Amino acid sequence: MDSDRFDRLARTVAAMETRRGVIRHMTRVLLGSWVGFRLTPHPSATHAQDLPLPPLARAACGRQLYDTDGKPFRGVPIEAHPDFFPALDAIDQCAVTHGVEVEATGSLRDPNVPVRGAIVDPAEYSNHHAGHAIDTNVWYMNSAGDMQRCASSCMDGNNRPQAVTDFIRCVKAAGLRWGGNFRNPKSDPVHFDDGLNLSDPNAFRRKVADMGDSVECSACDPCNLETALCEDICTTGTCNTKSGVCEETTDPCDPSDTGVGQCR
């Protein structure tokens, strides 16, 4: 079925008020295609081609790379939901304030993929699954003036460097949770999140689903970071998401059908 016929079919179905009407019309379409002729359309769909198309659902684009250019971050790229970007900005500011660097070791995580080399057993309802968490090591300047890594045992230890302690306190003061305070089942000192799974479980579940369905938006429907949805910016026509180019909308009716009242 070509795109024009699909659009007309979508309009027809949208115009119907009952499931029975939809079933009857779809049966006519399928039988008509099979035997090679068009049966009489359902009365409620006679002028369906004149109805506006129902709005298309916008694609989710919650899976985004956090821009670390010019910031005190190192390590793996940070993938997160745009709603977690302000938390990452707060981590950035705390690192600058206390003269440390943040080494990202993990961020967005697929709930169906096992975690390799985990410090603690991954939580079933982890904020990593919603793009609202990050795991890090912290690099600080030692007494010799060299940058030195503070990993899990260092971050959770009694001899934690003062700069790292100050950084952690700063991040907590910004409203984030530090895994070093977790006790169920045990502490996770490399972990920071905003507690979304506890503060708003419905939003957490929705974002987990959105991250799994996330797409890469095109040039003509870029990702709106406030809504985490691809947003068509074409002022005329529609966005061709494959080419990323706005295209003029064409009339699906063939001029030769004038007077017949039917679109092909």
What global pTM score does this model have? Answer: 0.68
Q: What is the pLDDT of residue 248?
A: 82
Q: What is the pLDDT of residue 137?
A: 98
Asked whether residue 140 is assigned to any structural domain, the reply reads yes
- The answer to whether 84 and 194 have CB atoms below 8 angstroms apart is yes
- Give the span between the Cα atoms of 192 and 88, in whole angstroms: 10
80-94, 132-146, 234-248: lowest mean pLDDT where? Answer: 234-248
Asked whether residue 262 is assigned to any structural domain, the reply reads no
Residues 76 and 51 in one domain: no
Residues 13 and 118 in one domain: no
Residues 69 and 127 in one domain: yes
- The answer to whether 211 and 131 have CB atoms below 8 angstroms apart is yes
Asked whether residue 25 is assigned to any structural domain, the reply reads yes
Asked whether residue 219 is assigned to any structural domain, the reply reads no
Q: Sign (positive/negative) of CA torsion 224, 85, 174, 110?
A: positive
Residues 83 and 183 in one domain: yes
Asked whether residue 226 is assigned to any structural domain, the reply reads no
**Per-residue pLDDT tens digits for 181-223:** 998 767 899 999 999 999 999 999 999 998 888 889 999 999 9
- Convert the chain into a string of H (helix), E (strand) and C (coil): CCHHHHHHHHHHHHHCCCHHHHHHHHHHHHHHHHHCCCCCCCHHHCCHHHCCCCCCCCCECCCEECCCCCCCEEECCCEECHHHHHHHHHHHHHHHHCCCEEEEEECCCCCCCCCCCCCCCCCCCCHHHHCCEEEEEEEEECCCCCEEEECHHHHCCCCCCHHHHHHHHHHHHCCCEEHHHCCCCCCCCCEEECCHHHHCHHHHHHHHHHHHHCCCCCCCCCEECCCCEECCCCCCCEEECCCCEEECCCCCCCHHHCCCCCCC
CA-to-CA separations, 171 to 81, 96, 126, 176, in angstroms, rounded: 19, 12, 19, 6
Residues 86 and 168 in one domain: yes
Query: What percent of the chain has pLDDT above 90?
Result: 52
Q: What is the pLDDT of residue 262?
A: 43
**Per-residue pLDDT tens digits for 56-114:** 567 889 999 999 999 999 999 999 999 999 999 999 999 999 999 999 999 999 877 65
- Domain enclosing residue 105, as ranges: 64-212
- Judged against a pLDDT cut of 60, whether residue 29 lies above it is answered with no
6-20, 93-107, 134-148: lowest mean pLDDT where? Answer: 6-20
**Per-residue pLDDT tens digits for 30-50:** 544 444 444 444 544 444 444
Please tell me the total count of domains within the chain: 2
- The answer to whether 46 and 38 have CB atoms below 8 angstroms apart is no
* Rg over CA atoms, the chain: 27
Asked whether residue 264 is assigned to any structural domain, the reply reads no
Residues 158 and 82 in one domain: yes
Indicate the burial class of 143 (C-beta count within 10 angstroms; 0-12, 13-18, 19 or more): exposed
Q: What is the pLDDT of residue 153?
A: 93
The distance from CA 218 to its chain's CA centroid, rounded to whole angstroms, is 14
Residues 104 and 132 in one domain: yes
Mean pLDDT for 3-25 is 49
- Judged against a pLDDT cut of 60, whether residue 133 lies above it is answered with yes
Q: What is the pLDDT of residue 230?
A: 92
**CATH for 144:** 3.30.1380.10
Asked whether residue 27 is assigned to any structural domain, the reply reads yes
Mean pLDDT for 147-163 is 94
Asked whether residue 247 is assigned to any structural domain, the reply reads yes
99-108, 117-126, 149-158, 194-203: lowest mean pLDDT where? Answer: 117-126
- Judged against a pLDDT cut of 70, whether residue 20 lies above it is answered with no
- Judged against a pLDDT cut of 60, whether residue 25 lies above it is answered with no
Residues 160 and 73 in one domain: yes
- What's the pLDDT band for 26 if we cut at 50, 70, 90? low
